[in-house]
Structure 1
Amino acid sequence: MPKLSVIIPCYHNEANIPLLDTELVANKSLFPPDVDVEYVFVDDGSEDGTLAALHDLRKQYPRQVCVVELAGNVGAYNAVVAGMEYATGDCLAVLAADLQDPPALLVDMYGYWKQGIRLVIGSRQDRPETGLSRLLSTSFHWLMRRFALRNVPAGGFDFVLFDRQVATEVLQMRERNSNIFYLMLWLGYPYVNIPYVRRPRRLGHSRWTLAKRIKLFVDSFVSFSFLPIRLISVVGMVLGTLALLYGAYIILMRLLGSPEPSGWSSLMVVLLVVSAFQMLALGIIGEYVWRGLDAARNRPLYVVKEVTEPLS
């Protein structure tokens, strides 16, 4: 009997757990009768009643629900890695606890996996976002497709079903400060993309802050692209060429006896531009160096406080 493990990272999702209960139970009836489904809930250091709600859910479904309690908040992507480690299915899926991604799509994704597709992606064809949030998301995915991973779906994704082999390879990498879903693409397996429209959040408010979005962008771009380092070299060469040309111009004016260009303001503008570029370059190099240091320290991605496994 094939087994599907659905990993659901939870952070301050107390109000959504009862809705998850209803939707997941209803969704289970859509799968073929020979499919065994387990749900791996990972509490990412929630400070509300999320953990208690998860344990209440497990009491209702002791053979299907696994609860992984992390010691502290490590971020949704590291929580997904923790869920992958404790999932026991032949294939695994990641589902958001806020139910903005439709669980019913898992049935179609599972069907592709049965056909031998090791990676099935649900990409966002549209999303309930407006203004700055929508602009940032669109820009992020365009930059990733243009300069990092060419096979990233246009709308981005974090709703995915993948084979046990993919999970094993990602766990072996133990990569930190990265994008767990883009790592799956980086492996190079052909994938099927199922576009869908993301639903509005029903309860609570998103914890996906602007600071977290910026960190995700930096982590993703630095992990999968050398463009920032290459840009430093290109801009440095351009500034160096301009400096040589300007120096040659000054020497030529001196040899011809013409008055040399003067002006404190212009000198300060050049100095400020070059200094700003140097500081930016140091910041970009520092991002790469810091990631090397973080990897060398080899600290764990997460600390598991307690695991309540399904009854056999």
Structure 2
Amino acid sequence: MPKISLIIPCYFNESNIPVTGAELIANEARFPAEVNFEYVFIDDSSGDKTVEALHHLRSLYPDRVCVVELAGNVGAHNAVVAGLEHATGDCIAVLAADLQDPLSLLVEMYGYWRQGIRLVIGNRQDRPETGVQRFLAATFHWLMKRFALPNIPSGGFDFALFDRQVAVEVLKMQERNSNIFYLMLWLGYPYVSIPYVRRPRQLGHSRWTLAKRIKLFVDSFVSFSFLPIRLISTAGMLLGTLALLYGTYIIILRLLGSSEPTGWSSLMVVLLFVSAFQMLALGIIGEYVWRGLDAARNRPLYVVKEVAEPKPSTARSTTSADSL
């Protein structure tokens, strides 16, 4: 019998867990009766009562709920990697704990997987953010598609269902400071993209801060593109050419006996511009060097504090979702 593992990273989701658990159980009715489910919840060292809520959910459904507690906060993408390590399903899905991604889409995704498609993604056609956040997200996905991974769907994604073989290949890489979803695309498997509109969050507030968004952009772009290094090289050659031309101009003026151009202000502007470019270049190179150092140290992506694995069972639980 096919088994679906759903990986759900959690961070300050105390209020979401009861609602999410009820909807997950209710969603099972949309699938054929022979399909088994496993829910792998990863607590990314939340500071609220998320762990308690997860263990309560597991007490109601001990045959299918797995709770993995991480010792420290490592970020959503590393938490997903922890989930991949503990998932045992034939196919695996990743979704948010606040259920902004529609569960009803999983049935269609599962259907494509049964047809042999190893990667099925939910492609966001619209997002609840507005203003600056919306602009930054659009810019991020455009840059990634234009200069890093051309096969990325417009709008990006973090909702996917994929074959176990895809999970195995991603785990082999053990990449740090990367984007776990874009690694799946990088593998090269043909995929199906299903468009959907993401729902606004109903409970709690998002911990997805601007700083985390910027870090994800830098991690993703540096991991999949050499464009920043190439831009530094190009800018360096252009500045070098301009310096050579200006130096030649000064030498010619001296040979012809003409007075050399003077101007402290213009000289300082040039020095400040070149110095700023050098600092920016060092910063970009430092991002690449840091990632090389981080990989060389080979520290674990996460540390598991405790795991509560599901108890084996061949039948679906009869506990009502209303009991949550």
TM-score (norm 2): 0.96
Cα shift at 1:112: 0.3
Q: For residue 227 of structure 1, what is the aligned residue in structure 2?
A: 227
Q: For residue 187 of structure 1, what is the aligned residue in structure 2?
A: 187
Q: For the residues of structure 1 that align with 2:95 and 2:280, how far apart are their CA atoms?
A: 37
Cα shift at 1:220: 0.3
Q: For residue 305 of structure 2, what is the aligned residue in structure 1?
A: 305
Q: Residues 276-287 of structure 1: matches in 2 within 5 Å?
A: 276-287=276-287
Q: Which amino acid aligns with 1:70?
A: L
Q: For residue 77 of structure 1, what is the aligned residue in structure 2?
A: 77
Q: For the residues of structure 1 that align with 2:280 and 2:127, how far apart are their CA atoms?
A: 33
Q: For residue 154 of structure 1, what is the aligned residue in structure 2?
A: 154
Q: For the residues of structure 2 that align with 1:22 and 1:5, how far apart are their CA atoms?
A: 16
Q: Residues 112-151 of structure 1: matches in 2 within 5 Å?
A: 112-151=112-151
Q: Which amino acid aligns with 2:24?
A: L
SS in 2 for 1:29: helix
1:267 aligns with 2:267: yes
Q: For residue 165 of structure 1, what is the aligned residue in structure 2?
A: 165
Q: Which amino acid aligns with 2:295?
A: A
SS in 2 for 1:223: helix
SS in 2 for 1:14: coil
Q: For residue 26 of structure 2, what is the aligned residue in structure 1?
A: 26
Q: For residue 320 of structure 2, what is the aligned residue in structure 1?
A: none
Q: For residue 178 of structure 1, what is the aligned residue in structure 2?
A: 178
Q: For residue 237 of structure 1, what is the aligned residue in structure 2?
A: 237
Identity %: 79
Superposed CA RMSD: 0.6
User: Residues 181-230 of structure 1, C-alpha deviation per residue, up to 9 Å, x if partnerless?
Assistant: 00000000000000100000001110000110010000000000000000
TM-score (norm 1): 0.99
User: Residues 63-112 of structure 1, C-alpha deviation per residue, up to 9 Å, x if partnerless?
Assistant: 01010011111000000000000000000000100111011111100000
Q: For residue 214 of structure 2, what is the aligned residue in structure 1?
A: 214
Q: For the residues of structure 2 that align with 1:56 and 1:217, how far apart are their CA atoms?
A: 36
Q: For the residues of structure 1 that align with 2:127 and 2:39, how far apart are their CA atoms?
A: 25
Q: For the residues of structure 2 that align with 1:214 and 1:47, how far apart are their CA atoms?
A: 23
Q: For the residues of structure 2 that align with 1:173 and 1:221, how far apart are their CA atoms?
A: 17
Tell me which stretches of 4 or more aligned residues in structure 1 moved more than 4 Å.
none
Unaligned runs of 5+ in 2: 313-324
SS in 1 for 2:259: coil
1:248 aligns with 2:248: yes
Q: For the residues of structure 2 that align with 1:28 and 1:233, how far apart are their CA atoms?
A: 54
Q: Which amino acid aligns with 1:11?
A: Y
Q: Which amino acid aligns with 1:3?
A: K
User: Residues 220-269 of structure 1, C-alpha deviation per residue, up to 9 Å, x if partnerless?
Assistant: 00000000000010000000000000011111111122221100001101
SS in 2 for 1:69: strand
Q: For the residues of structure 2 that align with 1:128 and 1:211, how far apart are their CA atoms?
A: 19
Unaligned runs of 5+ in 1: none
Q: Which amino acid aligns with 2:222?
A: V
Q: For the residues of structure 1 that align with 2:216 and 2:171, how far apart are their CA atoms?
A: 19
Q: For the residues of structure 1 that align with 2:21 and 2:188, how far apart are their CA atoms?
A: 35
Q: For the residues of structure 2 that align with 1:21 and 1:206, how far apart are their CA atoms?
A: 19
SS in 1 for 2:15: helix
Q: Which amino acid aligns with 2:220?
A: S
Q: Residues 40-51 of structure 1: matches in 2 within 5 Å?
A: 40-51=40-51
Q: For the residues of structure 2 that align with 1:64 and 1:37, how far apart are their CA atoms?
A: 6
Q: For the residues of structure 1 that align with 2:104 and 2:301, how far apart are their CA atoms?
A: 31
Q: For the residues of structure 2 that align with 1:12 and 1:259, how far apart are their CA atoms?
A: 70
Q: For residue 321 of structure 2, what is the aligned residue in structure 1?
A: none
SS in 2 for 1:162: strand
